[in-house]
Structure 1
C-alpha cells in the first residue's frame, strides 16, 4: 500500500461551470434545512446481514472525507445518537456495530464503484475511518454509510490527480480558530460558494477552555476546562454538530492539523502553558494529551498512520497534486522547545531550540532540497514571517529564530523551490513576502505567506469582527503587505504560472447568516516570487 509520501498526481477533468448533480444551492439548502450536508436521493444501501438495533439518529455528526491521494481518500463518520452525552459514549451501547459504506461516481449512487463494512467499536467512540483504495485519479465521488437500517447523509469528495501530471489548477481554502461560544460559523457558508477542491484546517478546531456563554448564547459543553477523554469527545462533537460544520465537511475533503487549543493553550511539547492543569507533571500532562489526541483522531478524516499512540500522534505528512503542488502538513506544537519569555532575547536565536523537532525538520529540509513542483505549500499553524507586533510572538516562529533560519536556508538553496506558507492562530488576516533575511528589506524574496483570520474566535466580540484592511501597514516590516481584521478565511488558486489569494471576511458572526466580501487579493508567480495586489 502506498503512503501519502510516495504518491504524485495528475490532471483532473476540466471543471464545469458547476459540479454535476450537487450544486452550491443544494449544499446550502441542505446545511440550512437538514443540517447534514448534501441533499440527495438515497435508495437503500445493500446489506447482506441483519443489523443490530441502534438508537435513532446515529449519524448526528454527519460525514467527512480527507487526505486525498490519486487512488484513495479517507471517508469518515461516527455513530453517536447523543453526541453531547457527558460520559463521552455519544449515547451508544458498548458493543461493536457493523457499518456499511459505499462510494459512487454519481450523487444518486447508481454507479457504485466500491462498498464494504467497517466495525465501529466503543474503544474508538464508534468512529469509522475507511481508507478507500482503488479509485480513479482526479475524480469526484459521493459516499455514505448505513448502520442499523439508518442511512447517513451523503458526502462529496475527490481524489488527487494522476502522479507526475501537470494539472491546470487547484483551488483550496484555509481555516483556523473557531471558538464555539464566540459566534456562528457563517464563514463556512461563504466557503461553500467558493466550492474548494480542498479545505486546510490549520488548528484550534475547538477550544479546551470554557469561557462562559457567548454573545449569541452558545455555551461550551462540558462546562469547565477539558481534561479527560469524555470531556474532549463532547467538546469536539459539539463543534462537529454545528450546521455549517456539517455542510462544509460533507462538501469537500479536509486536510487537518492541530494547534494548541485542541489540548491546552500554548502548550509546548510535554509542557502545559496556561489554564487548569498548568502545574501538571510531565506524566500527568501526557495523559491529558493522550486523551485529547485520541478524541481528535476519532473525529477527523485521518488515516491509521495518524492514529495516536498514547501521547504521540504523527500529523506531519505530505500530499501531492501532480507536479502542480506539494502539500506539506507540519506540526509546530508537539515537538517544540518551551517558549522563551521574550522573542527578542538571545535565547530565541539558540540553535539548540526547535519548533518542529529534529526529525520533522530533517524531513522537511530533505524535501525542500529536492522539490520540483510548481508550488511548495507548507500548511502549518503559527505565523512564519517576522512581526514583533503580533500577540505573543514568542509562541510563533519569531520565538524560534534559529529554526526559522534553517528553513529559510533550505528554501533559498533550491532555485526550484517556490514556497507558499499557510498559517493561522492570530485571529487576523495577514499577507507577507518570505524574505531570505527578514531584517534586510533588500534581501531576496523566496516566496509568500498567507495567514488566515479566525472563523469565529475573537477576544473582543463586536470589535474584532469589524472588517478592516491596511496595505503595507508597518514601515518597520516592509515584507508585511497586508493586515486585516474581521472573521473569515483565505482562498488560494494555483496554476502552473500564477498564484492568486483572496482574503474573505463576513460582516458578522452574531447572526446565523452574513454577507461576505473579498477585502484583499494578491497574485504571485514562480519566476517573480513576492506579492502583488490583484
Structure 2
C-alpha cells in the first residue's frame, strides 16, 4: 500500500517532534477523530502508567476461577548466567479485561534441571500488574552457562504449561555448533501456524523472529482464510488495531494459537519487529496514511507497549511512550555474535512514495538512513570489537539488491535496503573495516525464502562476495504460496547473486559450525488447511572465510 506521507519536514522527521513525543510518553486517556481516513470519532483510550502507580488492589490468586495460562509461556534473549521468562495471565484472552479485575496478582515461578521439577535450581515470586495487562517478565540470574532448563509458573491453584529454555555459553567458550531457526510474518487471517508445530519439534538452541509477529488488519469471525466452522471470533477483531486495547486483544488472539504456543514453550526466542506490529510501512514518525504525526505517535505508543507486554523481552527494552530501544547484542560463546537491528523506528521516509520504483536522486541521497545514526554507530563499533567466528545480523527487510526485471528498466523496493543504498554501503564498508570474514544477514518481511550472496558492488556480478543473506519466508502471510512465484524467472535472471527463491510458507534453520554454516529452507504445502507436512525446499552451505552460498 502506498502511504500518504504528509506533515513532515524535508528530512522525514515530524515537525515539533520533542513536544509530540513528550505528549505520547505521558499520555493518559486521549480522544482523536481521524483514523486511516475514517471520519468517525474514535476513543484512543491508552493508559500507560508505570506498574504499581495506579494503586491497584491485590487479587487473591486462589479466587481465579479458570485457567489464567491460556497464552502459554515463553523465554527469550539467552545470556550466559540468566534467562528471561514470560507469561501473561488471561483466563479470557478474547475479552478486553482478559477475564481479570484491575488488581495485582502474585505469580510464583520455578526453574529446574528436569521436566518433572524434582531438581529445582531457582524459584521466586513476582507480580502480574494490571498496568501491564497482567504480563510477567522474570529475569532469572545465577544459572549455569550453556545448558537447558525447564520452567513453569503458578497462580493460585493453576499451573502453567512447562517451558524449555537455555542459557548462552560464556563469551569465551569455544563451542562447536549452534542451531537456530529464523521466522517471520504470521498473518493470522491468512492461515494456520502449522510451520510452528514442526518448528517446536526441532532440536534448536534459539528461534529468531524477524518481524510482523502481529498484523493490524481486521480478522473476520471465521478467522479469515482459516475459515473456522466450529467457532466464531468476537466482532471486535473485525477492525484494524488502533488503541492499546485493540493491540492487546490482537495479541490475545495470536498467542492463543496452539502451534505458536508450542514453539514458544519449546525454544527461547530473540525477537525484533517490522511494521505490522504497529502499522503497514510506517517510517519513524511517518504513518502510512494521511494522519497527523502526533496522532500516529499515540498509536505507536500503544503498539510498542503491547509488543513489550507480550514478548519475552528484558527490562532495557521496556518502552517509554512512543520510543523503545529494540536493537541489542547477544553472544553465543566465540562462535556467534548477534546484532539485532530495528530498521523501522529510526528510518528516513521511504523515497518516491514507497513501493517498487525506479531508483533515482531521492532514494540515492547519501544522507538517507534505514537504521538512524545512533544505531548505525552502535553496530559498526560493536563489529570492531567482535571476536566471533560468525557475525549475524537479524533484521527486517531485504538487504541484497533485488531488481524486479532484467535489463536497464528495473525497479527496486523502496521499503527495503534498495531504497537506502548509501545506508547499506555504510554497513558493508563498516563490516570490511572491522575485518569481518563471515557476515550473515537474517531477513524476513517478503513472504518468500531467498538466499543471496552479498556483493561488494551489486551492479557488478563479478565483484567480490562479502557475505551471505538468508531470508526466512512467512509463517502464514500470503496464504499458501507457490514453489515458483510469478516473479521467479524475472528475479532469478535479473539478480545473479540470488541463489535461492521459493514462495511457500515455513521457516529456515541455520546450523553454525567452526568451518561452515548450513541453511535449510523448510516449507509446508499449505496453511489454509491445518496439518500440512514439512519438507526441505533447499539447502546451502557457506564456508568460514569464503562467503557465498553453495547448494548441498
Task: Classify 1:471/1:113 alpha carbon distance in 2 versus 1 (closer, same or farther; 3 Å).
Answer: farther
Instruction: After superposing the two structures, state which structure 1 stretch, 362-371 or 398-407, moved more.
Output: 362-371
Give the corresponding residue for 2:292: 281
Give the corresponding residue for 2:37: none
Taking the aligned partners of 2:248 and 2:457, their CA distance within structure 1 comes to: 43
Q: Find the partner of 1:123 among 118, 131, 135.
A: 131
Instruction: After superposing the two structures, state which structure 1 stretch, 209-218 or 428-437, moved more.
Output: 209-218
Taking the aligned partners of 1:345 and 1:467, their CA distance within structure 2 comes to: 30
2:79 aligned with 1:61: no
2:106 aligned with 1:112: no
Give the corresponding residue for 1:22: none
Give the corresponding residue for 2:471: 451
Task: Classify 1:416/1:336 alpha carbon distance in 2 versus 1 (closer, same or farther; 3 Å).
Answer: closer
Give the corresponding residue for 1:499: 517
Give the corresponding residue for 2:538: 520
Q: Find the partner of 1:479 among 454, 479, 497.
A: 497
Give the corresponding residue for 2:324: 313
Counterpart mapping for 1:113-512 below 5 A:
113-210=121-218, 212=220, 213-217=223-227, 222-273=237-288, 278-341=289-352, 342=357, 344-389=359-404, 393-458=413-478, 461-462=479-480, 464-465=481-482, 474-512=492-530
Taking the aligned partners of 2:287 and 2:346, their CA distance within structure 1 comes to: 13
User: What is the deviation of 1:192?
Assistant: 2.2
Task: Classify 1:84/1:145 alpha carbon distance in 2 versus 1 (closer, same or farther; 3 Å).
Answer: same
Give the corresponding residue for 1:80: 90
Measured against aligned partners, the alpha-carbon deviations of 1:333-354 in whole angstroms (never above 9, x if no partner) come to: 0000100013511111112111
User: What is the deviation of 1:50?
Assistant: 7.2
Instruction: Provide the aligned length of Structure 1 versus Structure 2.
Output: 477
- Asked if the contact 1:412/1:436 (under 8 Å) is kept, the reply is no
Taking the aligned partners of 1:261 and 1:195, their CA distance within structure 2 comes to: 29
Task: Classify 1:102/1:170 alpha carbon distance in 2 versus 1 (closer, same or farther; 3 Å).
Answer: same
Taking the aligned partners of 1:295 and 1:504, their CA distance within structure 2 comes to: 30
Taking the aligned partners of 1:415 and 1:149, their CA distance within structure 2 comes to: 56
Taking the aligned partners of 1:427 and 1:70, their CA distance within structure 2 comes to: 33
User: What is the deviation of 1:476?
Assistant: 2.9
Q: Structure 1: 5+ residue runs without aligned partners? A: 1-48
Q: Counting strand residues as a fraction of each chain, which structure ranks higher?
A: 2
- Asked if the contact 2:504/2:523 (under 8 Å) is kept, the reply is yes
Measured against aligned partners, the alpha-carbon deviations of 1:40-98 in whole angstroms (never above 9, x if no partner) come to: xxxxxxxxx9744113111101100000000011000011101111x2x2111111011
Give the TM-score taking structure 1 as reference length: 0.86
- Asked if the contact 1:373/1:417 (under 8 Å) is kept, the reply is no
- Asked if the contact 1:467/1:505 (under 8 Å) is kept, the reply is no
- Asked if the contact 2:397/2:443 (under 8 Å) is kept, the reply is yes
**Secondary structure of the corresponding residue to residue 426 of structure 1:** coil
- Asked if the contact 2:80/2:168 (under 8 Å) is kept, the reply is yes
- Asked if the contact 2:247/2:303 (under 8 Å) is kept, the reply is yes
User: What is the deviation of 1:466?
Assistant: 5.0
Taking the aligned partners of 2:198 and 2:484, their CA distance within structure 1 comes to: 15
Taking the aligned partners of 1:50 and 1:228, their CA distance within structure 2 comes to: 29
Counterpart mapping for 1:25-64 below 5 A:
51-64=61-74
Task: Classify 1:343/1:397 alpha carbon distance in 2 versus 1 (closer, same or farther; 3 Å).
Answer: farther
Give the corresponding residue for 1:20: none
Give the TM-score taking structure 2 as reference length: 0.84
Give the corresponding residue for 1:19: none
Instruction: Provide the aligned C-alpha RMSD in A.
Output: 1.9
User: What is the deviation of 1:193?
Assistant: 2.8
